[in-house]
Amino acid sequence: ELLHSCGHINPPSAVVQCGSNFTAVCVVKEECMDFFHVNANYIYWKTSHFTIPKEQYTIINKTASSVTFTNIGLLNTHLTCNVLTFGQIEQNVYGITIISGFPPEKPKNLDCIVDEGKKMLCHWDPGRETHLETNFTLKSEWATEKFADCKPKHDAPSSCVLDYTIVYFVNIEVWVEAENALGKTKSDHINFDPVDKVKPSAPRNLSVSNSEELSSILKLAWSNPYFKTVARLKYNIQYRTKDASVWSQIPCEDTASTRSSFTVQDLKPFTEYVFRIRCIKADGKGYWSDWSQEASGITYEDRPSKTPSFWYKIEPSHVHAYRSVLLIWKTLPPFKANGKILDFEVTLTRWKSSQLQNYTVNDTKLRVNLTNDRYIATLTARNLVGRSDASVLTIPAFDFQGNLTESKCYLITVTPVYADGPGSSESIKAYLKQAPPSKGPTVRTKKVGKNEAVLEWDQLPVDVQNGFIRNYTIFYRTNVGNETAVNVDSSHTEYTLSSLTSDTLYMVRMAAYTDEGGKDGPEFTFTTPKFAQGEIEAIVVPVCLAFLLTTLLGVLFCFNKRDLIKKHIWPNVPDPSKSHIAQWSPHTPPRHNFSSKNQMYSDGNFTDVSVVEIEANVKKSFPDDLKSLDLFKKEKPSTEGHSSGIGGSSCMSSSRPSISSSDETESAQNTSSTIQYSTVVHSGYRHQVPSVQVFSRSESTQPLLDSEERPEDLQLVDHNADDILPRQQYFKQNCSQQETNPDISHFEQSKQVSSVNEEDFVRLQQQQISNHISQSCGSGQMKMFQEVSAADAFGSGTEGQIERFQTVGMEAAIDEGTPKSYLPQTVRQGGYMPQ
């Protein structure tokens, strides 16, 4: 107590982290110092029984001394502060305990498992050893409430069993806190639904049953754990034969849903299998249950899959004409027996006799007395399900011996007989002595070409071979040539002769050779063809193609130049019945006329004939006419001086040569007066009933012949076609203006006439016009203008006027200085005439 009160160490106890420095100070009371006559220099430090070197001491003052430890290692020791009294007596002043260690590391790998029917166990990795007493606390909570802490037991400091009943389908958050003298830390929080951490109980009551219908299946049945009511399950089912050590597993996809039975297929018959099963939550979350208890079952029997090995032994017999035969066979191994073999059935059939001897044997041998005849023995094994296939054995006749003859082929078969039965037999063909074949092979051609021939032949029948055929020789020759020989291997039945001459008769024969010689076969003749196959075709076809091509080109050429050809060889003769009547169309004259002309040309019938169609649009006459007039005025400079053609000749030529006249009324009057001497037809424009008639006339087609005779006239018309158009328009405009005059009675009259069919009528008139064109060209009559004027003066036309009118167009053409000028004419002779 004296010493105890003599001083103290600061700190009074120490837990030190490994690797750190530590300093302890010993303070001795002054009265003790005085009592022992010492000071701080007398203080020394000891750990357990070892004195600490003075280098680690520090004298702080008269009564205090400190000791410093640097980079402390693992320690668990006592540190004492001592003084030496009277120079040598060691007095302990104070002592403390020093423990070193580490603060706790953050616990890792925290995870929990819910063993079905038990509480939840959580475990973690505590990290490195702290060497200190470290307390772990497992904390858990729902989002809405906190649960009691779980303290691990001492024997299992890194796991803890939560003592409350776990509730599925509620997420729980769990973490671990670790604490020791050097610090405190906690793991990451894990949050999970306990249903995903369940290790279900193993399936129970696994049973196996077989099926009498199918020997390859076994049915498993089991009881699912209670967890099945909480979540769906999936399974692993494993099986093995009883003697095997390796488990086979049913494919997982077949057992991926909750079930309580399963049929295993593709098993061997009559074989004992062992099964086991385990389960897990169907989505794979959680843990596999333990394996169930193993259960075994035997598949049902099937008929034996293989026949027993079967042999015989002939034993000498004392009885004449009989012999004792011992038939022996082997038992079937289980995988072939497919069940328990109940008995064997042996049937003996005498050669060439229907007599049967049946024996049912439980043993694997049978001794029978047989005559010296040949016998056929069959053996089958039988089990509960059925019989195996029969194993057949021939027991040769007693007197069987080798009366072998030469040049006969023998098949020698040797079957080894082992102690437990026969082995696999082997056969060989053999001759006692060979001879040349009795017949030679018959050769024939398979295919004959210009320079080659394919020969074929049949193998010699074994009866005539008299030995092994080693090779064949083919001889072939022409009538005059030498014979050529070709050797062919005996395995071939076909050969191709090449380099033959075409169109030649060949004779070929063939010989077969054994080791002992050969024999020729019959001679065969064939003739090679003059041409090879396809050769003629190769010549003819290109020639034909070239010919065809030439012809085609010729036709194309002719087609392209048909107009020219036609013109020179067979010029067209117009059909009078298809004559057209010209029409005046004030509406769109230039374009229409062009197209009309083009159409005529495109027809190809009238190569040198021009026809102008002139229509009159009576309804819209006035405004259109004005427009046309304007148009015409614009075009006038270019057209002036070229005026010719129908329009020009009829209207314009009546009094004025040009449209540029400003006195339109006068012009119209002039025109109308001219028209009155022309033919009068009314026509519709675009299905409209015209309010104003169109003037045209058709004449007899007789002069067409003149036209044909004078083609140069027609060509002239063609050249002037362009010039015709403006004139025609001009003519129509004048006429249209005339239409506006209600006092013109002949319009109305013509309208009545056209009441039958205006369009057809107009079309007919157009044809007539075109015909008339030819006619007028051919007539070469003159004085058109004069005649027109006369017509104007006469007013309404008469029969006689019309006749005269015919000549008007002709004369007009001449008057224009061009021989081809056409006046629209509407009335055929004998047809309609204006009244």
Binding region for other proteins (CB under 8 A): 141-147, 164-165, 167-171, 173, 189, 191, 193, 195, 229-230
- Rounded to the nearest whole angstrom, what is the least distance from the CB of residue 78 to other proteins in the complex? 43
Residue (74 or 167) nearer to other proteins, CB: 167
Residue 555 · residue 547 · CB < 8 Å = no
Residue 79 · residue 98 · CB < 8 Å = yes
Catalogue the long-range contacts made by 322-326 (C-beta closer than 8 Å, 24 or more residues apart): 322/369, 322/370, 322/371, 322/372, 323/369, 323/370, 323/371, 323/372, 323/398, 324/367, 324/368, 324/369, 324/370, 325/367, 325/368, 325/369, 325/370, 325/375, 325/395, 326/365, 326/366, 326/367
Residue (145 or 743) nearer to other proteins, CB: 145
Residue (142 or 335) nearer to other proteins, CB: 142
User: Rounded distance, CA 479 to CA 482, Å?
Assistant: 9
Length of the chain: 835
Residue (190 or 725) nearer to other proteins, CB: 190
Pairing of strands 14-17, 89-101: parallel
- Rounded to the nearest whole angstrom, what is the least distance from the CB of residue 274 to other proteins in the complex? 35
- Rounded to the nearest whole angstrom, what is the least distance from the CB of residue 114 to other proteins in the complex? 13
Residue (195 or 694) nearer to other proteins, CB: 195
Residue (145 or 155) nearer to other proteins, CB: 145
* Cis check: omega of the bond before 103, within 30 degrees of 0: no
Residue (146 or 591) nearer to other proteins, CB: 146
Residue 329 · residue 344 · CB < 8 Å = yes
Residue (248 or 257) nearer to other proteins, CB: 257
Residue (141 or 706) nearer to other proteins, CB: 141
User: Rounded distance, CA 390 to CA 35, Å?
Assistant: 122
The closest alpha carbon to 178, from 252, 117, 127, belongs to 127
Residue (198 or 675) nearer to other proteins, CB: 198
- Rounded to the nearest whole angstrom, what is the least distance from the CB of residue 168 to other proteins in the complex? 7
In terms of Cβ atoms closer than 10 Å to its own Cβ (0-12, 13-18, 19+), residue 49 is: exposed
- Rounded to the nearest whole angstrom, what is the least distance from the CB of residue 172 to other proteins in the complex? 9
- Rounded to the nearest whole angstrom, what is the least distance from the CB of residue 142 to other proteins in the complex? 5
CB proximity list for 503: less than 8 A, separation 6 or greater: 527, 528, 529, 530
Residue (193 or 520) nearer to other proteins, CB: 193
Residue (189 or 330) nearer to other proteins, CB: 189
Neighbours of 411 (CB within 10 A): 8
User: Rounded distance, CA 236 to CA 254, Å?
Assistant: 9
User: Rounded distance, CA 490 to CA 468, Å?
Assistant: 9
- Rounded to the nearest whole angstrom, what is the least distance from the CB of residue 121 to other proteins in the complex? 18
286: left (phi over 0), alpha (psi -120 to 50) or beta: left
Residue 580 · residue 765 · CB < 8 Å = yes
- Rounded to the nearest whole angstrom, what is the least distance from the CB of residue 179 to other proteins in the complex? 21
Residue (191 or 265) nearer to other proteins, CB: 191
User: Rounded distance, CA 131 to CA 593, Å?
Assistant: 122
- Rounded to the nearest whole angstrom, what is the least distance from the CB of residue 281 to other proteins in the complex? 12
- Rounded to the nearest whole angstrom, what is the least distance from the CB of residue 144 to other proteins in the complex? 4
- Rounded to the nearest whole angstrom, what is the least distance from the CB of residue 164 to other proteins in the complex? 8
- Rounded to the nearest whole angstrom, what is the least distance from the CB of residue 29 to other proteins in the complex? 49
Find the radius of gyration of the CA atoms of the chain.
Answer: 67
The closest alpha carbon to 104, from 186, 173, 28, belongs to 186
Q: Which residues pair with 322 in a beta bridge?
A: 371
- Rounded to the nearest whole angstrom, what is the least distance from the CB of residue 111 to other proteins in the complex? 18
CB proximity list for 574: less than 8 A, separation 6 or greater: 605, 606, 609, 704, 707, 770, 771, 774
Residue (170 or 404) nearer to other proteins, CB: 170
- Rounded to the nearest whole angstrom, what is the least distance from the CB of residue 139 to other proteins in the complex? 11
Residue (227 or 747) nearer to other proteins, CB: 227
Cα three-residue angle 187-188-190, rounded to 5 degrees: 120
User: Rounded distance, CA 379 to CA 495, Å?
Assistant: 50
In terms of Cβ atoms closer than 10 Å to its own Cβ (0-12, 13-18, 19+), residue 88 is: exposed
- Rounded to the nearest whole angstrom, what is the least distance from the CB of residue 186 to other proteins in the complex? 14
Cα three-residue angle 213-218-220, rounded to 5 degrees: 130
Read off the amino acid at residue 131. Answer: H
User: Rounded distance, CA 820 to CA 718, Å?
Assistant: 8
